[in-house]
Amino acid sequence: ARVMTDRVASIAPSASLTQAAERMAAEQVRRLPVVEGRRLVGMVTLGDLCRREDYAMEAAEALTEITANVKNL
């Protein structure tokens, strides 16, 4: 499909939640596949980060960056 993304951003299971939030912001995504080798082993979402009090700020910063850049498109 023409609207499908062919280059999918992902993280490894060993990545920290801070790294996940930074990657989401950099890639302008709210969901990030967790991939081990070539196998999908999970998903991390901004909602997942928000539910962890110790990562709520990272989630808010990622969402702010995503939102700000959407307006610039």
- The pLDDT assigned to 1 comes to 58
Place of tokens 């930074």: 22
User: For residue 59, what is the enclosing H or E element?
Assistant: helix 56-71
- The pLDDT assigned to 15 comes to 96
Q: How far apart are CA 3 and CA 68, in angstroms?
A: 22
The predicted-structure confidence for 4-20, as pLDDT tens digits, reads as follows 777 889 999 999 988 99
Tokens of 18: 């801070």
The predicted-structure confidence for 27-49, as pLDDT tens digits, reads as follows 888 899 999 999 999 999 988 88
User: What is the pTM (predicted TM-score) of this model?
Assistant: 0.74
